Chain A
Amino acid sequence: MVEIASGESLNAACRAALKNLLSAIADTKLLLGYHYGEWTFGTPVLEASIANCSLSQTELGHVRLLHGILKSHFDEDPERLLESRPPREMAGVEFLDRELPDWAAVVAATLVVDGALTLALHSMRESAFLPVRNVVDKMLEEERYHAHHGRGWFRALAGRGEAPRSTLKERVEAALRSVEIWWGPEGEPEDALLVSEGIKSRSNSELASQLRRDLAELAAACGVELELEGTAQFDGWDPRTRRRGDSSVNEEILYHMRGSKNQIFKLT
Chain B
Amino acid sequence: MIYEVFARKDHHQELKHVGSVDAADDELAKVYAWALYDEESWVEMCVVPRSAIIPVTEHGRVPVWGN
Contacts and interface: CB of A to CB of B under 8 A. Distances in A.
B22 A54 contact: no
Nearest to B26: A152
A50 interface: yes
B64 interface: no
Main SS at interface, chain B: helix
Contacts of A53: 35
Interface residues of A, number: 16
B36 interface: yes
Given A47-B21, A47-B22, A152 B28 contact: yes
A152 B27 contact: yes
Contacts of B36: 47, 50
- Among B23, B30, B31, B34, residue most surrounded by chain A Cβ atoms (within 10 Å): B31
Main SS at interface, chain A: helix
A132 B38 CA distance: 26
A149 B30 CA distance: 9
Interface in A158-199: none
Interface of A: 45, 47-48, 50-51, 53-55, 145, 148-149, 151-153, 155-156
